[in-house]
Structure 1
Amino acid sequence: MPSEQPDGRGVPSPSQVDVVVGGIKGMLLDGTLGPGQRLPVEADLARALGVSRGPLREGVRALSHLGVLETRQGAGTYVTALDPALLLAPVSFLAELQQPASPALHEVRRLLETEAAALAARHAGPQALAAVQEALDAVAGPGAVDPQVFVEADVRFHRALAQASGNPVLAALVQAFAGPAVRARSRAAVGDEGALARTVQEHRAVLEAVRAGDPDRARRRMGAHLPAVEDPLAGAGEDPDAGPS
């Protein structure tokens, strides 16, 4: 976006693009616009916001990149469904840049995923639990498992468990933060014959606690599982119920 220019008092004044972004945000907040609704035609919207058409188009493009708006060829510009997973996509981009994953990234992931497991124990229904079980079953059978299948099933397990929490914002954040961290653990596990068996055992323990409707145990089990993301050998053989995680 163009930089802000100082007004006569030396205070930065917002650019016209900022006015567009703020104006459309205000329309969303006050209910003038809602998910799935079409924006007014360009001339009317520019007049309503007090800007020219060039900055209006730049502001619309900026909001489209953020997942707030979408332009349909020949049909106009619409507000998206404002889905949390779409709006939080930039967080995933941030997490992907943390290679190797930083301690701060791991700390945030632990906070998110332990609470997601606890919420799943409170709220997960049969369909949500079946999705978690399916991800576990993908690597729980006998015989060798292809490393790529292992990676995909590991990511799918954590994603399904977060969705089982019943909180779509939390699920979107878990998906954003868990991807690179889970893949790092999975890559390390390829050279560790015991890592796959430990992962399955830990996942099963988390799911058992969730099925039992025990939020505290689900939180502890997930808390015991996640340090292996940072160090594939960390926590092996520890009893998460022996004390605080």
Structure 2
Amino acid sequence: MAVTDEAIEKIKAMIVAGDLRPGDRLPREADLAERLGLSRNSLREAVKALSLIRVLDVRQGDGTYVTSLAPQLLLDALNFIVDFHRDDTVLEFFEVRRILEPAATALAAQRMSDDDVQALRKVLADLSDDASIDELVANDLDFHHRIAAGAGNALLCSLIDSLSGPTTRARIWRGLTQAGAVEKTREQHAAILEAIAGRQPELARSWATVHVAGVEDWLRVALQGPVG
């Protein structure tokens, strides 16, 4: 194991063991290096690496702190990686969405507040019949985000949000090229909403699966032929 990796693992172990908690300030560099049996240089490199993935927060003139370790914060690194996806990997993002979103939708049917259900209903109502493709996609992203948030699991919501970006181009492409895509999206959104409002988690799960899988299946076929 590289020296820096060893240093990272030792700091991680302190956090996992509870020796360092969210918001705690790390001991002085010299003291921590001695405690962990590390060189100050390897400790310094480990701190840099952990600050990049938002585990540590280096405050100039103040010290180094453990962050809140909130899922949304830690997933910033995943969002950065996701931004480098290639078009030929977009199907993999849809496959993961097909696994996660139906589960989130089922949870939303159980946990979403009545006020949030009404807000979700308003999202659909606000989409005009002559909406542009850009407006449709923005509405679609908002709809899916609200359901993910309504699942009541911050980590699950962050994961789903991070997967939305790479699939946006495919949604636009489908809206522009597939006949009836806009109408089908609206119908499926309405069915998902009614299942959530009716507190029917398995029906909500089923409609979410149909919805995401439909786009995935269309894209799989589209990628096999010429792109127009």
Instruction: Output the TM-score relative to the length of structure 1.
Output: 0.79
User: Are 1:84 and 2:71 matched, yes or no?
Assistant: yes
Structure 1 residues 130 and 47, CA gap change in structure 2 (3 angstroms): farther
Local SS of the residue matching 2:24:
coil
User: Would the aligned equivalents of 1:181 and 1:229 in 2 still touch at CA under 8 Å?
Assistant: no
Q: 1:36 to 1:183 in 2, by over 3 A?
A: farther
Does the 8 A contact of 1:95 with 1:105 survive in 2?
no
Q: Residue 67 of structure 1 corresponds to which residue in structure 2?
A: 54
| Aligned residue type for 1:77 | T
CA distance in 2, matches of 1:111, 1:60: 35
Match status 1:218 vs 2:208? no
1:98: how far off?
Answer: 3.9
SS at match of 2:21: coil
Is structure 2 residue 152 aligned with structure 1 residue 166? yes
Distance in 1 between residues matched to 2:51 and 2:120, nearest whole Å: 33
Equivalents in 2 of 1:45, 1:233: separation in Å? Answer: 52
Query: Is the 1:154–1:182 Cα contact (8 Å) retained in structure 2?
Result: no
1:53 aligns with 2:43: no
Shift, 1:230, TM fit: 2.1
- Please give the alpha-carbon distance, in whole angstroms, between the structure 2 residues aligned to 1:222 and 1:104: 17
Aligned to 1:21: 8
1:100 equivalent in structure 2: 88
1:50-108 deviation line (CA, Å, top 9, x unaligned): 22222111101111111211212222211111121232334444544141344433222
Secondary structure (helix, strand or coil) at the match of 1:77 reads strand
Corresponding residue number in structure 2 for 1:199: 185
User: Under a length normalisation based on structure 2, what TM-score does the superposition of the two structures give?
Assistant: 0.85
Q: Give the 3-state SS of the residue equivalent to 1:34 in structure 2.
A: coil
Q: Which has the higher contact order (CA 8 A, sep 6+)?
A: 2
Shift of 1:191: 4.2
Q: One-letter code of the match for 2:184?
A: R
- Given candidates 150, 175, 186, the residue that maps to 2:172 is 186
% identical equivalent positions: 39
Corresponding residue number in structure 2 for 1:176: 162
Quote the residue 2:226 is aligned against: none
Which ranges in structure 1 are unaligned for 5 or more consecutive residues?
A: 1-13, 235-245
Match of 2:224 in 1: none
Two-structure CA RMSD over aligned residues (Å) = 2.3
Whole-Å separation in 2 of the counterparts to 1:100 and 1:233: 11
The answer to whether the Cα contact below 8 Å between 2:24 and 2:66 also exists between their aligned partners in 1 is yes
